[in-house]
């Protein structure tokens, strides 16, 4: 998707604001002697913004609007080093709610729906984004926040919640709990809006069938508003994103060069109208691609494919580059196992080894044969032989937040 003249005008307006505020990006441009872009080629030469730049700006170095205009901050979790703080103006907060309401509408949610929100509230952008969009649409928000499954199921039954917003791991946990308690006929859910982590087609099918609901993938990140900058439609053929608020590029993560539409690479996002903390060419480290052509739903908004993983998820085992998504796809091809798995990378006897744990569904007892079959499939499709361990269903950890499926034990 080439940048349009209007989008370029918006970028130039943001460049002026960044230079005026003296933020890191403004300084980068001053140094490069760039004050405007006039063509898609010039745009592609603009320097990238990196997570490190955002961390270095801690606490409020990203603030691009005058302090009296800032009404809120959000922060991304700082698992490594300092957190990132993103200031929002009232317009930013409103724009985010507009985009989020658009997501709900794309999923067919209306003002008569009751929306149970299980993502967390607080410094991060999850819960409050789901809530603001819901209120803007006119639906009833049920702001539960995460955890406390008993209470979640009680409210779901009493209030007849029709929409559930959750991470895929928590949606799966709720689906399993509803089945276990035999309360499916007391649940009124019709749709699930699922965000914030990569999930397999198998897990998706399991949640959708066991709850009997339609599922929608929502996309977003704290640095760029939060969740709600894109969502899948009823055709489940990628996520439509709002190109009147963001400009999205896909680059080769190694060379930094743009790749053609349809090819996978790293998602790079430019905010077009953000005031509090505009970002130009921000490297998300998420891997996906732009899906060419128009969607069956007829929406004019372009589409981003399902997130395939992170550029830093890439593992090198015995000299072969491996993505968790590849392992997941192979596991998904086996009808005998559940959607849950765990990958452990360790350093044994002087070399890197991958162990894959999968759960056999009940009725399958020949674990050794199944393990051998999965290992052989990985060898033939990816090129190395992992150690596969088959365990009983329900043994692998489920969580209320994000489930860690890849554990690197090499540096413990």
Parallel, antiparallel or unpaired: strands 351-360 and 337-348: antiparallel
Cβ of residue 49: shortest distance to Zn ion, in angstroms? 29
Q: Could you give phi then psi for residue 51, rounded to 5 degrees?
A: -55, -35
Cβ of residue 76: shortest distance to Zn ion, in angstroms? 29
Cβ of residue 143: shortest distance to Zn ion, in angstroms? 29
Bridge partners of 345? 354, 408
Of 38-46, 164-172, 288-296, 326-334, the segment contacting Zn ion by CB under 5 A is 288-296
Cβ of residue 231: shortest distance to Zn ion, in angstroms? 10
Closer to Zn ion by CB, 33 or 298: give it.
298
**Range 126-185, binding Zn ion (CB under 5 A):** none
Cβ of residue 292: shortest distance to Zn ion, in angstroms? 14
How does DSSP classify residue 383? S
In angstroms, the CA 68 to CA 276 distance is 11
Contacting residues for 9 by C-beta, under 8 A, at least 6 apart: none
Could you give the count of Cα atoms lying within 13 Å of 273 in the half-sphere of its Cβ?
Answer: 14
Closer to Zn ion by CB, 155 or 297: give it.
297
Site size for Zn ion (CB under 5 A):
4
Largest CA distance in the chain: 68
Closer to Zn ion by CB, 232 or 353: give it.
232
Question: What are the strands, taking DSSP E only, across 349-386?
Answer: 351-360
For position 105 contacting Zn ion by CB under 5 A, the verdict is no
Query: Assign residue 196 a region: left if phi > 0, alpha if psi is -120 to 50, beta otherwise?
Result: left
In angstroms, the CA 108 to CA 229 distance is 16
Of 75-83, 134-142, 171-179, 227-235, the segment contacting Zn ion by CB under 5 A is 227-235
Of 289-297, 311-319, 321-329, 355-363, the segment contacting Zn ion by CB under 5 A is 289-297
Angle ∠(14,17,18) on CA atoms, nearest 5: 85
Cβ of residue 217: shortest distance to Zn ion, in angstroms? 12
Cβ of residue 101: shortest distance to Zn ion, in angstroms? 17
**Range 230-259, binding Zn ion (CB under 5 A):** 233
Closer to Zn ion by CB, 199 or 241: give it.
241
In the set 109, 246, 291, 295, which binds Zn ion (CB under 5 A)? 295
Closer to Zn ion by CB, 188 or 299: give it.
299
The answer to whether the CB of 289 falls within 8 A of the CB of 262 is yes
Closer to Zn ion by CB, 39 or 299: give it.
299
Closer to Zn ion by CB, 295 or 304: give it.
295
In angstroms, the CA 62 to CA 53 distance is 9
Cβ of residue 295: shortest distance to Zn ion, in angstroms? 3
| Number of CB atoms found within 10 A of residue 353's CB | 18
Cβ of residue 195: shortest distance to Zn ion, in angstroms? 17
Closer to Zn ion by CB, 280 or 304: give it.
304
Cβ of residue 297: shortest distance to Zn ion, in angstroms? 3
**Range 322-381, binding Zn ion (CB under 5 A):** none
Of 29-37, 292-300, 308-316, 373-381, the segment contacting Zn ion by CB under 5 A is 292-300
Of 8-16, 212-220, 281-289, 298-306, the segment contacting Zn ion by CB under 5 A is 298-306
Q: Could you give phi then psi for residue 297, rounded to 5 degrees?
A: -75, -15
In angstroms, the CA 284 to CA 309 distance is 11
For position 297 contacting Zn ion by CB under 5 A, the verdict is yes
Long-range contacts of 255-261 (CB under 8 A, 24+ apart): 256/48, 258/44, 259/289, 261/1, 261/289, 261/290, 261/291, 261/292
The count of residues in the chain is: 412
Closer to Zn ion by CB, 228 or 253: give it.
228
Closer to Zn ion by CB, 208 or 297: give it.
297
How does DSSP classify residue 184? G
State the residues that interact with Zn ion by CB under 5 A: 233, 295, 297, 299
């Amino acid at each position: 998707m080439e940048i349009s003249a209007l989008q370029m005008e918006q970028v130039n307006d943001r460049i002026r604001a960044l230079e005026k505020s003296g933020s890191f990006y403004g300084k980068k441009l001053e140094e490069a002697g760039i004050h405007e872009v006039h063509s898609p080629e010039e745009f592609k030469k603009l320097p990238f913004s990196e997570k490190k730049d955002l961390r270095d700006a801690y606490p409020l170095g990203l603030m691009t609007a005058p302090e009296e205009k800032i009404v809120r901050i959000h922060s991304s979790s700082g698992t490594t080093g300092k957190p990132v703080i993103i200031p929002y103006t009232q317009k930013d907060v409103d724009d985010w709610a507009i985009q989020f309401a658009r997501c709900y509408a794309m999923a067919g949610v209306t003002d008569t729906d009751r929306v149970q929100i299980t993502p967390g509230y607080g410094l991060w952008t999850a819960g409050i984004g789901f809530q603001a969009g819901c209120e803007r649409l006119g639906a009833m928000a049920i702001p539960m926040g995460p955890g406390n499954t008993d209470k979640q199921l009680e409210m779901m039954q009493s209030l007849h919640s029709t929409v559930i917003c959750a991470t895929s791991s928590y949606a799966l946990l709720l689906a399993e709990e509803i089945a276990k308690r035999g309360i499916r006929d007391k649940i009124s859910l019709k749709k699930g809006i699922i965000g914030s982590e990569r999930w397999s087609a198998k897990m998706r099918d399991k949640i959708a069938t066991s709850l009997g609901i339609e599922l929608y993938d929502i996309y977003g990140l704290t640095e760029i508003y939060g969740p709600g900058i894109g969502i899948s439609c009823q055709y489940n053929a990628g996520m439509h994103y709002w190109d009147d608020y963001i400009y999205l590029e896909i680059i080769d993560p190694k060379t930094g060069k743009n790749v053609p539409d349809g090819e996978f690479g790293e998602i790079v996002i430019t905010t077009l109208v953000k005031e509090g903390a505009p970002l130009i060419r921000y490297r998300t480290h998420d891997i996906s691609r732009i899906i060419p052509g128009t969607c069956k739903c007829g929406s004019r908004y372009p589409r981003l494919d399902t997130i395939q993983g992170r550029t830093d998820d890439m593992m090198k085992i015995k000299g072969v580059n491996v993505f968790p998504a590849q392992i997941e796809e192979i596991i998904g091809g086996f009808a005998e196992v559940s959607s849950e798995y765990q990958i452990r990378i360790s350093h044994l006897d002087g070399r890197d080894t991958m162990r894959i744990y999968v759960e056999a569904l009940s009725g399958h007892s020949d674990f050794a044969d199944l393990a051998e079959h999965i290992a052989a499939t990985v060898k033939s499709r990816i090129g190395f032989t992992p150690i596969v361990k088959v365990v009983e269903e329900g043994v692998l950890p489920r969580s209320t937040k994000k489930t860690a499926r890849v554990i690197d034990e090499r540096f413990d």
